[in-house]
C-alpha cells in the first residue's frame, strides 16, 4: 500500500512537472535482461525486452518520465517431470533522473519505481490450485546516455537494475536482474 | 462201464488232490503275510519320553513347577514329551557355517529393523506364546509388520493346559500348522475373551528346529539362524538370583531345567564376564528378548552368558509364514501335531494318511515333521485307493528330497495332483531320519498334555517296508487308537506373495514459486511368485488413520514397479499398501510403508 502510494505520488509529480516542461523525449529502447534467480535462469533463461518511454525535462538537469517494460515472456520445462510452463514479467515504471547536457552527449542517472506483474503457468493437473499471478512494486536504478545525432533525434543506451523479490507461496523468488538496453528517441522542445 | 467209472474216480481224486494242495499253498501264503504283519507289529518302538515331561506330569498335583520367579515375574515354559537327547551334538548343514564364512563378533536385530516393540505377558504363563510370535513376527520383518494375537494362541492351542498354565514350542507349532492362527492382535487383544472363528492371517508351513547347543561355545548354529531368519525361540531357566539387574546380565551356572521361553535376537562375543552376578568361565553373551514389558531389563532385552547351563540347549525354533492366498484346503488328522515318535529300530519308516477330497482343488504340497539333523524323504500320492491300502489305486505323483535340519516342513509338489470332490486319495511318506530310529511323528494322547487327540480307523497307517501296513487305530491292541500320523497335505494353488522391496521416498518437485510434494513408491516383482501376476493394487490412507481407512489409489500394470503419489502438501503424509493380483484373480497379502 505504501509503495502504491509512493508510485501514485511520483506519478502526480510527473503530471505537475509537465507544466514546467521545457522539452520532452519519446523513445523506444530494447535489449536483454538477466535473471537473478538461478532456477528461473535454468528453466526460462534470459530474455529480450522492450521499453517505450516518455520523459519530461523540467529543467536542464532534472527529468521525470514513465515507461513500460514488456517482452519477457518465456516458456520452459519445469520440475522433475519436465512439464510445460511459461513465465511472464512485465510492468510500467516511472522515474526521476538527473542528466548532464554536454553538447550532444547527455549522460544521466535515474531512480524509479516499477510495478511489475508476474505470472507463471504450469501445465500439470497436480498443481492447478497453485496460481502464480501477482504484482509487486519495486525501485529501479538506471544510468545511460543519449547522443543527439540530429537536433530532435537521439540514440541512447542504458543499464538498469531492478530488484524484484516475490513470495506468492513458500518459496522466495528473485525475479530481478539487469537490463542492457539500446534504442532511439525524439526530442520535442516546448519553450 | 467199469473202465468209465474208474476213470471218473481217478479224475475226482486228482481234482481233490489239487484242491488240497492249493489250499495248503494258500494257507502258507496267508500265514507268511500275517507273519509279516505280526512281525511289523512286534517291531514297533515308541521313542523315549522326555524325562522332564514325566517329572512334570508326576509332579502336577504337587505343583512343584515354578509359575513365577522370586520377584514375581511370570514364567510359563512347560516340558514337551519329545526328547531332545538325540539331536544334541548334531550340526545340520543348514546351521553349519561354511569354512570361508566368518560370523561377526556382535550382531543385534534391534539395529536391523527386524523386531517389533516389546510386549508384556502380564501375570499369565504365556512366555512361550510371546517367544514363538517374537520369532514369527521377526521373520516377516522388515518387509511385513504384523502383531499377532498371543491371546488367541493360548486360548485355542487345544492341549490340556489352560490359557495361562504354560506351553511349549510344539503346542505353538501344532496350533499354527493346523491353521488356527496366527490371528491379528487387534482381532483378539491380550485379555481373556475366548473369541472364536477368527481368520488366520498367515499360513505357517515351516518351523525349523534349530539344534541345541552342545557346549558353551557351540553357538554358530543359533547365530546363523538369527542372521538368516530373525529372532529364534528358545528356552531357559530363569531365577532372579542369577540376574544382575545393573548390567541386565543373566548366568545360570547349574540348573538344567527350563522354566521360561524367550527369543534370541543377537549376541556379543566380547560381553564382559564380570557383568554377571556369578562370573562365568568366559566372556560373551546372547541378547535375548523377554516378554515382561519394556520397563524390565534393557528396555525389555537382556544378556545371557554363553556359559549358561540351559539357555539354547533345548528346542530352539524359527517360525516361518506364507501368505494365506496359496493353499486353500488342508487335509490333516494331527490337529495337536507332533507329540511322540515311533520307529521300527531303523532310521527309515513308512507312514501314510488316507483322505477324501473336499473340493476339486489340485493337491500341491505335503507337510510333515522330520526329526533328524538330516532327513531324506520320498512322497507318494495315490488316487482312487481302496480302503486300508495306502498304496493301492493309481500312483499320481512321486517326489523325493533331502531336508538338512529338523523341523516341520511343507514340500511343494513340482506338479499338482488333480482331485475330484469325494475322491479317496492317500499321501504316503518314506522318511529316513539320520541317527534317529524313530522317524514316524505321531499325535499321541498323553494324559495331562494332549489327551484330546482323536483318531479313527482308516486314517493313519505305518509300515516298516511300504508294503505291509498297520492301521494305527486298530493295531497294537489299541495302544495308538487315538493317534494319527503327522502328515498333512494341501490343495490349492502356489502361494501368492506381495511385491518385494516396497519402499517410499519423499520427493520435492520444485516449481520455483512453490513445491509439490511427492510420495515416490517403488517395489519389485517377488521372485517367489510362480504364477502370472496381472496387476498390482496400491492402497492409501492418511498416516494416522485406522486400517479401515485404506482406499484403492491405483491398479497398476504388472510391468510397472513405481508410482508417484503427486500433488501432496508439505504436511500431508500417508501410509500405503500394495498387493499383487494373479491370473486366478487372487490378491496377495499386502505390504505396507508410510512416511
CB contact under 8 A, A39 and B512: yes
| pLDDT tens track for B566-585 | 999 999 999 999 999 999 88
Q: Is the dihedral of CA B542, B547, B549, B550 positive or negative?
A: positive
Instruction: Extract the C-alpha cell encoding B83.
Output: 526328547
Does A166 contact B at CB distance below 8 Å?
yes
Domain A2-189 has CATH 2.40.160.20: yes
Kindly give the parts of chain A with pLDDT less than 50: none
The domain spans of chain B are: 2-43, 51-79+103-319, 326-492, 500-594
Instruction: Extract the C-alpha cell encoding B546.
Output: 485406522
Of A3-7, B206-210, B257-261, which one has max mean pLDDT? B206-210
Strand order across the B551-556 sheet: B551-556, B533-542, B574-582, B591-594
Residues 6+ apart with CB under 8 A from B32: none
Do residues B184 and B149 make contact, with C-beta atoms less than 8 angstroms apart?
Answer: yes
Q: Which of A37, A79, A125 to mutate to test the interface with B (most CBs of B within 10 A)?
A: A79
Does A127 contact B at CB distance below 8 Å?
yes
Interface contacts (A, B; CB < 8 Å): 47
CB contact under 8 A, B511 and A122: yes
Closest by alpha carbon to B138, among B250, B301, B375, B297? Answer: B301
Kindly indicate the confidence band of residue B29, based on its pLDDT and cuts at 50, 70 and 90: very low
Lowest mean pLDDT among A3-12, A50-59, B267-276, B346-355: A3-12
Averaged pLDDT for residues B225-237: 96
| Per-residue pLDDT at B97 | 63
pLDDT of B179 > 80? The answer is yes
For the beta carbon of residue A93, count every other beta carbon within 10 angstroms: 25
Closest by alpha carbon to A163, among A143, A142, A132? Answer: A142
> What is the number of residues in chain A?
191
CA separation for the pair A124, A131 (Å, rounded) = 12
Do residues B459 and B385 make contact, with C-beta atoms less than 8 angstroms apart?
Answer: no
Rounded to the nearest angstrom, the minimum Cα separation between B506 and chain A is 13
Rounded to the nearest angstrom, the minimum Cα separation between B510 and chain A is 5
Q: How many Å separate Cα B425 from the centre of its chain?
A: 24
| Per-residue pLDDT at B23 | 62
Does A130 contact B at CB distance below 8 Å?
yes
Q: How many Å separate Cα B537 from the centre of its chain?
A: 30
For the full predicted model, state whether its pTM sits above 0.80.
no
Percentage of chain B with pLDDT > 70?
89
CB contact under 8 A, A126 and B516: yes
- Nearest CB to B516: which of A85, A127, A166? A127
**Under CATH, to which class is B51-79+103-319 assigned?**
alpha beta
Do residues B148 and B181 make contact, with C-beta atoms less than 8 angstroms apart?
Answer: yes
Averaged pLDDT for residues B185-202: 90
Q: Which CATH code is given to the segment(s) B326-492? A: 2.60.120
CB contact under 8 A, A168 and B567: no
* Residues of B with Cβ-Cβ distance to A166 under 8 angstroms: 513
CA separation for the pair B328, B556 (Å, rounded) = 26
CB contact under 8 A, A132 and B510: no
| Per-residue pLDDT at B27 | 46
| pLDDT tens track for B514-568 | 999 999 999 999 998 988 999 999 999 999 998 889 999 999 999 999 999 999 9
Domain B500-594 has CATH 2.60.40.10: yes
pLDDT of B167 > 50? The answer is yes
* Residues of B with Cβ-Cβ distance to A169 under 8 angstroms: 513-514
Residue of B nearest to A83 (CA): B511
CA separation for the pair A187, A50 (Å, rounded) = 19
pLDDT of B11 > 60? The answer is yes
Closest by alpha carbon to A51, among A65, A70, A66, A34? Answer: A70
Window 45-84 of A: residues touching B by CB (8 A cutoff) are 78-81
Amino acid at each position: 500500500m505504501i509503495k502504491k502510494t509512493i508510485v501514485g505520488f511520483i506519478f502526480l509529480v510527473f503530471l505537475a512537472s509537465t507544466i514546467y516542461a521545457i522539452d520532452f523525449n519519446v523513445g523506444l529502447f530494447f535489449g536483454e535482461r538477466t535473471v537473478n534467480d538461478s532456477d528461473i535462469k535454468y528453466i526460462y533463461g534470459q530474455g529480450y525486452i522492450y521499453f517505450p518511454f516518455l520523459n519530461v525535462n523540467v529543467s536542464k538537469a532534472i527529468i521525470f518520465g514513465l515507461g513500460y517494460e514488456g517482452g519477457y515472456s518465456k516458456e520452459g520445462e519445469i520440475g522433475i517431470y519436465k512439464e510445460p510452463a511459461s513465465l511472464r514479467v512485465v510492468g510500467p515504471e516511472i522515474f526521476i533522473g538527473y542528466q548532464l547536457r554536454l553538447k550532444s552527449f547527455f549522460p544521466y542517472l535515474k531512480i524509479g519505481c516499477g510495478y511489475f506483474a508476474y505470472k507463471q503457468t504450469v501445465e500439470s493437473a497436480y498443481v492447478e490450485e497453485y496460481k502464480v499471478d501477482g504484482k509487486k512494486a519495486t525501485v529501479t536504478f538506471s544510468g545511460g546516455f543519449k547522443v543527439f545525432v540530429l537536433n530532435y533525434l537521439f540514440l541512447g543506451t542504458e543499464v538498469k537494475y531492478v530488484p524484484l523479490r516475490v513470495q506468492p507461496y513458500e518459496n522466495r523468488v528473485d525475479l530481478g536482474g539487469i537490463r542492457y538496453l539500446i534504442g532511439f528517441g525524439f526530442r520535442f522542445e516546448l519553450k | 462201464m467199469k473202465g468209465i467209472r474208474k476213470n471218473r474216480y481217478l479224475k475226482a481224486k486228482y481234482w481233490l488232490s489239487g484242491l488240497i494242495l492249493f489250499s495248503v499253498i494258500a494257507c502258507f501264503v496267508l500265514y507268511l503275510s500275517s507273519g509279516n504283519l505280526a512281525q511289523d507289529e512286534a517291531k514297533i518302538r515308541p521313542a523315549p519320553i522326555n524325562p522332564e515331561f514325566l517329572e512334570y506330569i508326576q509332579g502336577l498335583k504337587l505343583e512343584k513347577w515354578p509359575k513365577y520367579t522370586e520377584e514375581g515375574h511370570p514364567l510359563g515354559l512347560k516340558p514337551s514329551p519329545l526328547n531332545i537327547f538325540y539331536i544334541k551334538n548334531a550340526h545340520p548343514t543348514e546351521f553349519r557355517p561354511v569354512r570361508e564364512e566368518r560370523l561377526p563378533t556382535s550382531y543385534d536385530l534391534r539395529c536391523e529393523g527386524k523386531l517389533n516393540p516389546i510386549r508384556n505377558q502380564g501375570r499369565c504363563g504365556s512366555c512361550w506364546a510371546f517367544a514363538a510370535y517374537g520369532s514369527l513376527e521377526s521373520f516377516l520383518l522388515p518387509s511385513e509388520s504384523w502383531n499377532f494375537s498371543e491371546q488367541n494362541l493360548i486360548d485355542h492351542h487345544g492341549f490340556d493346559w489352560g490359557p495361562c498354565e504354560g506351553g511349549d514350542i510344539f503346542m505353538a507349532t501344532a496350533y499354527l500348522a493346523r491353521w488356527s492362527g496366527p490371528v491379528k492382535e487387534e482381532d483378539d487383544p491380550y485379555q481373556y475373551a475366548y473369541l472364536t472363528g477368527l481368520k488366520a492371517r498367515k499360513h505357517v508351513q515351516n518351523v525349523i528346529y534349530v539344534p541345541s547347543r552342545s557346549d558353551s561355545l557351540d553357538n554358530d548354529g543359533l547365530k546363523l539362524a538369527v542372521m538368516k531368519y530373525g529372532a529364534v525361540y528358545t528356552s531357559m531357566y530363569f531365577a532372579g538370583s542369577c540376574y544382575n539387574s545393573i548390567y541386565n546380565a543373566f548366568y545360570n551356572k547349574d540348573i538344567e531345567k527350563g522354566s521360561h521361553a524367550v527369543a534370541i535376537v543377537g549376541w556379543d562375543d566380547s560381553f564382559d564376564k564380570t557383568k554377571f552376578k556369578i562370573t562365568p568361565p568366559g566372556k560373551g553373551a546372547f541378547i535375548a528378548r523377554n516378554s515382561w514389558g519394556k520397563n524390565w531389563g534393557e528396555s525389555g532385552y537382556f544378556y545371557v552368558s554363553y556359559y549358561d547351563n540351559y539357555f539354547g540347549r533345548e528346542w530352539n525354533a524359527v517360525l516361518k509364514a506364507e501368505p494365506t492366498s496359496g493353499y486353500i484346503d488342508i487335509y490333516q488328522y494331527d490337529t495337536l501335531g507332533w507329540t511322540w515318535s515311533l520307529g521300527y529300530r531303523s532310521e527309515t519308516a513308512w507312514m501314510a494318511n488316507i483322505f477324501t477330497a473336499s473340493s476339486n482343488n489340485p493337491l500341491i504340497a505335503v507337510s510333515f515333521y522330520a526329526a533328524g539333523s538330516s532327513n531324506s524323504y520320498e512322497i507318494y500320492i495315490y488316487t482312487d485307493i481302496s480302503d486300508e491300502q495306502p498304496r493301492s489305486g493309481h500312483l499320481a505323483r512321486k517326489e523325493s528330497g533331502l531336508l538338512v535340519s529338523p523341523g516341520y516342513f511343507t514340500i511343494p509338489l513340482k506338479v499338482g495332483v488333480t482331485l475330484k470332490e469325494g475322491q479317496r486319495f492317500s499321501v504316503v511318506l518314506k522318511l529316513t531320519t539320520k541317527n534317529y530310529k524313530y522317524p514316524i511323528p505321531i499325535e499321541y494322547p498323553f494324559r495331562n498334555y494332549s489327551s484330546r487327540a482323536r483318531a479313527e480307523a482308516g486314517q493313519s497307517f505305518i509300515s516298516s517296508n511300504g508294503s505291509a501296513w498297520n492301521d494305527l487305530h486298530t493295531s497294537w491292541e489299541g495302544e495308538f487308537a487315538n493317534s494319527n500320523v503327522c502328515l498333512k497335505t494341501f490343495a490349492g494353488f502356489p502361494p501368492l506373495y506381495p511385491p518385494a522391496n516396497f519402499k517410499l521416498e519423499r520427493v520435492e518437485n520444485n516449481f520455483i514459486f512453490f513445491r509439490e510434494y511427492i510420495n515416490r513408491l517403488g517395489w519389485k516383482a517377488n521372485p517367489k511368485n510362480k504364477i502370472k501376476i496381472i496387476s498390482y493394487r496400491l492402497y492409501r490412507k492418511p498416516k494416522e488413520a485406522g486400517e479401515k481407512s485404506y482406499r484403492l489409489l491405483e491398479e497398476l500394470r504388472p510391468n510397472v514397479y513405481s508410482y508417484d503419489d503427486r500433488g501432496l502438501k508439505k504436511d500431508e503424509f500417508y501410509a500405503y499398501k500394495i498387493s499383487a493380483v494373479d491370473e486366478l484373480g487372487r490378491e496377495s497379502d499386502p505390504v505396507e510403508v508410510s512416511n
